[in-house]
Amino acid sequence: MKQMNCPLNGVRNIQEFAHGGEVVDQPDPNRCSDAEWAEFVFMEANTAGVVREWWCHVATAYWFIAERDTLKDEIIRTYDAGELFKERVDFTRPEAPKET
């Protein structure tokens, strides 16, 4: 059975994990165009080769980052998201539309 090394829980069976998609920068939802937002939501690099992705260890609800090769089905490295995200990301609420 395929196994993955969880940065928090060590080596576990792959069934314990959920794939969360590519690591991509989120555009500022208050400022970007609809097209930019649609691209962020829908478009996929779907790389044939080495990818950097979000994964979740479901039993402990722990999200982390994995680098893997989609051609060889090899997991190259897994690490805590803190390695990539050094600062806290605050989400500002968009201004409420004016009542008409």
Residue 1 in contact with another protein, rule: CB under 8 A: yes
Q: How far is the CB of 8 from another protein (least distance, A)?
A: 19
Burial of 17-46, coded b for 16+ CB within 10 Å and e otherwise, reads: beeeeeeeeeeeeeeeeeeeeeeeeeeeee
Residue 18 in contact with another protein, rule: CB under 8 A: yes
| Best CA proximity match to 76, nearest among 68, 87, 65 | 68
Q: Tell me which stretch binds another protein (CB under 8 A): 13-21, 24-32, 78-86, 89-97.
A: 13-21
Residues 66-95 that bind another protein (CB under 8 A): 70-73
